[in-house]
Amino acid sequence: MVYRSFFLLLVFVFSLYLINGCRHETTSLDFFEPVCFDTVIQPVFTQSCATSGCHDAATAAAGYVLDNYNNIVSKGIEPGNALNSEIYLSLVSGDDLMPPDAPLDQETRTKIRVWIEQGAKQQICRTEGGWPAPKDTLGNILDNDSACFNTTIFPVLISSCGISGCHSEADVGNTLALESYEGLMANDEYIIPGDLEKSKVYKSITEDSPEERMPQAPHPALSQEQIDGFAKWISDGALNSICESNTCDTTMITFTNHVWPLVKSACTGCHSGDNPEAGLLLLNYSDVSGIAGNGMLADVISRSGTSVPMPPDHALNPCNVRQIEIWIENGAADN
């Protein structure tokens, strides 16, 4: 009730802000509390936009998929400028007002506008936490108590789901492979952010029946710790988040546990598909070992060589750089 009252007040105050903005060149939004993405914005898009037959991954009406943070902000949202954001304008005006059967109320539209004006950040408010902070794929700091995709979910996918004979790309095709965040979220029934009961993947890993349980025999069932990790991650919004540890493991560096998770989360997004960046695919060990062997990998991640630094928008954690260097120094084995 208090939270709702705050936003009713916010609607009024923001209206004054709009009026004031017509009279002055700039008006600060600093006096507004940050609008939470996980508890305020994501539920609106999940319940009103990313529904079956509309802007879910399977339908992608008008080319929009609005089922997670990255998809929402990557197309149709201009952070800091709601009035230049196609998605926002479709919610408030025009002949094709969205959602067509149940337009959003003024309070909800105001929340979305303030969120965009504040930078459309992936603000996580479910719990509180401190350093080391997990980050989303854009580098925004998330809550420390959030379950991170790269450390909690991805290792399980590549070791128990996206394996030969199961949900690997070779077995089921790119759109259904459970070897990446994109694959896990490609089917809008696999993972429903915030809803364990409706998430088919979670239901399958907690099945009591051996015939229904995933992974299927002879592969072992997931441990309770792994299952709890999925539960926490889904409850936290099923974000494509990256955690950085405050310790650096430089012993027993392997491709599977250290190098591939990092490449998958930081590189494959650009270096995949029909038109990969620079014509370079990074989809498996063979691809990665190729640029490790010719010196390119170490050159680009060190950001001190002759090649264009990668990733282009941010430097990797020094620990991650050193782990990759150690793996290369040890022969870049497929281990």
CB 203 within 8 A of CB 150: no
Q: What is the pLDDT of residue 202?
A: 92
Q: What is the residue-averaged pLDDT of the chain?
A: 75
Among 241, 7, 214, CA closest to 124: 241
Helix, strand, coil shares, percent, the chain, to 5: 45, 0, 55
- Collapse the DSSP code of 136 into the 3-class scheme (helix H, G, I; strand E, B; otherwise coil) and give the result: strand
Please tell me the pTM assigned to this model: 0.39
pLDDT higher than 70, residue 153: yes
DSSP 222: P
Q: Return the bridge partners of 242, or none.
A: 135
**Greatest distance between any 2 Cα atoms in the chain:** 70
Q: Is the peptide bond before 218 cis (omega within 30 degrees of 0)?
A: yes
Sign, CA torsion 274/280/281/282 = negative
∠ CA 307-313-314 to the nearest 5 degrees?
A: 90
pLDDT in tens, 10-58: 444 444 444 344 333 334 455 566 787 777 888 888 888 888 788 887 8
Residue with the two structure tokens 């991954």: 57
CA 178, 193, 233 angle in degrees (round to 5)?
70
pLDDT of residue 69: 77
Q: What is the pLDDT of residues 180-223, one digit of tens each?
A: 787 888 888 888 988 888 999 999 999 988 888 888 877 778 88
Give me the pLDDT at residue 331, please: 93
Alpha helices, H only, 173-330: 181-186, 200-205, 224-235, 260-266, 285-293, 296-302, 318-329
